[in-house]
Structure 1
Amino acid sequence: MRAPHVLTQTTSRVLEPSDLDAALAVLDREPVANAFVTSRVQIAGLDPWRLGGEMWGWYEDGMLTSLCYAGANLVPICATPRAVRAFADRARRAGRRCSSIVGPAKSTADLWRLLEPQWGPAREVRRHQPLMVADRLPEAETVAPDPYLRRVRKDEMEKIMPACVAMFTEEVGVSPLAGDGGLLYQARVAELVGSGRAFARFDADGKVVFKAEIGAATDRACQIQGVWVAPEYRGTGLAAPGMAAVLRYALADVAPVASLYVNDFNTAARRTYQRVGFQEVGAFMSVLF
Structure 2
Amino acid sequence: MTDTAAPAAATGGCRGVGPGEARALLAVLESDPLVSCPAAEKFATSGAVPGPEGRFLTLGGPERSLVFVGSSVLPLRGDAHDHRALGAAVAGLGVGPMSVHGRREQVSALWDALGVCWGPHRDYRDAQHLMSLRRPVDRALVLGGVRAATLVEFEPVLAAAAAMYREELGSDPFAVGSGIPFRRRVARSLARGRTWIGVDRGEVFFKADVAAVSSWSAQIQGVWVRPERRGAGLGTGGIAAVCSALQARRLTPSLVVNGSNTAARATYRRVGMTDAVDYATVLL
What TM-score does the superposition give when structure 1 sets the normalisation length? 0.86
CA offsets per residue over residues 243-288 of structure 1, 9 Å max, x none?
11111111113x4311111011111000000010001011211111
CA offsets per residue over residues 27-49 of structure 1, 9 Å max, x none?
12111111012112322444444
Confirm whether residue 177 of structure 1 aligns to residue 178 of structure 2: no
Deviation at 1:77, TM superposition (A): 1.0
Confirm whether residue 272 of structure 1 aligns to residue 267 of structure 2: yes
Could you say which residue in structure 1 is the equivalent of 2:232?
Answer: 236
- 5+ residue gaps, structure 1, are none
Q: 1:178 aligns to what SS in structure 2?
A: coil
**Percentage of matched positions with identical amino acids:** 32
Provide the alpha-carbon RMSD of the alignment.
2.5
Aligned length: 279
The counterpart of 1:249, out of the listed 240, 245, 249, is 245
Could you say which residue in structure 2 is the equivalent of 1:210?
Answer: 206
Confirm whether residue 120 of structure 1 aligns to residue 116 of structure 2: no
Deviation at 1:6, TM superposition (A): 8.6
Q: 1:184 to 1:93 in 2, by over 3 A?
A: closer
Q: 1:44 to 1:242 in 2, by over 3 A?
A: same
Distance 1:157 1:112 in 2: 36
- 5+ residue gaps, structure 2, are none
Asked whether the 8 Å contact 1:135–1:256 carries over to 2, the reply is no
Q: 1:158 to 1:58 in 2, by over 3 A?
A: same
Deviation at 1:126, TM superposition (A): 0.3
Deviation at 1:96, TM superposition (A): 7.3
Could you say which residue in structure 2 is the equivalent of 1:162?
Answer: 159
Q: 1:262 aligns to what SS in structure 2?
A: strand
Deviation at 1:93, TM superposition (A): 4.7
What TM-score does the superposition give when structure 2 sets the normalisation length? 0.88
CA offsets per residue over residues 126-146 of structure 1, 9 Å max, x none?
001111000233435xx5200
Deviation at 1:56, TM superposition (A): 0.7
Matches within 5 A, 1:79-228: 79-91=78-90, 93=92, 97-140=96-139, 144-204=141-201, 206-228=202-224
Q: 1:245 aligns to what SS in structure 2?
A: helix
Matches within 5 A, 1:18-57: 18-51=20-53, 53-57=54-58
Could you say which residue in structure 2 is the equivalent of 1:4?
Answer: 4
Worse overlay, 119-128 or 16-25: 16-25
Q: State the one-letter code of the partner of 2:153.
A: E
